[in-house]
């Protein structure tokens, strides 16, 4: 069975067919999904989805673009309370994003550290978002000893050397639809260099659909294309990729059974 370690089924793009799509997952070979929080609202919605579907788990966290909402009094306490709910398996997605610069760097860093501290307090792994912020993300993760908690570097987009550094610290590397793109040479090199035991599958749906569906709404049903590409790169069977990444996802999120 396929494990989608990073999805956003609370997104409005699924408003018309969310239940029918999620209800079809198991028969289509998708056995587990973690729905990821990117704001307080989406964290709450992730918990609701986890309560409604036995194979869905929740992540609670505030994306760096949205950390301004944590500057409002009481909102971090609200996040802490959400993180203690049943079926919350990780704190995420959290990190740094210097692409759009929706929030000042110092505000992003402040709440990245605070959310890492929350993960440490609760003994949960983390799901890390990092875009155009390689150096600062690494520095914070090292200083905060985030490798102690473990987790996933989501939608990895940096060098082989940095991927290996994260693996050495105990992180898994999240691989999604981008690896199927013809121009994704750097990510293919990362997949080739990283042990299969440190890779996990993810969609980031409804975004980043793989070839041949690039540009369309993404879903966990397309992860077979990602698994096929990884299998080709690493010269193993697709079944081995699916089985190994299934185990990896359950291990990193500490999901039993």
Q: Which residues contact 32 (CB under 8 A, 6 or more apart)?
A: 1, 3, 4, 55, 56, 57, 246, 249, 250, 255
Give the percent of the chain with pLDDT over 90.
100
What is the domain-level CATH number for residue 87? Answer: 3.20.20.140
Instruction: Domain count for the chain, please give it.
Output: 1
At 257, is the pLDDT very low, low, confident or very high (cuts 50, 70, 90)? Answer: confident
pLDDT tens per residue across span 183-229:
999 999 999 999 999 999 999 999 999 999 999 999 999 999 999 99
Give the percent of the chain with pLDDT over 70.
100
Longest dimension (CA), the chain: 52
| pTM to 2 decimal places | 0.98
Q: Is the pLDDT of residue 103 over 80?
A: yes
């Amino acid at each position: 069975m396929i494990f989608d370690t990073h999805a956003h089924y609370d997104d409005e793009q699924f408003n018309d067919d969310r239940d029918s799509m999620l209800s079809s997952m198991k028969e289509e070979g998708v056995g587990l999904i973690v729905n990821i929080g990117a704001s307080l609202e989406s964290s709450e919605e992730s918990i609701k989805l986890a309560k409604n579907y036995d194979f869905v788990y929740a992540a609670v966290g505030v994306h760096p673009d949205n950390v301004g909402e944590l500057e409002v009094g009481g909102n971090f306490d609200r996040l802490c309370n959400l993180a203690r709910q049943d079926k919350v398996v990780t704190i995420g997605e959290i990190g740094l994003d210097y692409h759009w610069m929706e929030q000042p760097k110092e505000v992003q860093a402040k709440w990245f550290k605070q959310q890492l501290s929350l993960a440490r307090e609760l003994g949960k792994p983390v799901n890390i978002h990092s875009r155009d912020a390689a150096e600062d993300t690494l520095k914070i993760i090292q200083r905060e000893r985030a490798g102690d908690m473990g987790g996933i570097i989501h939608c990895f987009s940096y060098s082989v050397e940095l991927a290996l550094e994260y693996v050495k610290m105990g992180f898994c590397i999240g691989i999604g639809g981008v690896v199927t793109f013809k121009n994704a040479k750097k990510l293919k090199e990362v997949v080739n260099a990283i042990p299969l035991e440190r890779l996990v599958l993810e969609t980031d749906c409804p975004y980043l659909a793989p070839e041949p569906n690039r540009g369309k709404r993404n879903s966990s049903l397309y992860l077979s294309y990602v698994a096929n590409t990884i299998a080709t790169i690493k010269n193993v069977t697709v079944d081995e990729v699916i089985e190994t990444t299934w185990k990896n996802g359950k291990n990193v999120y500490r999901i039993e059974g």
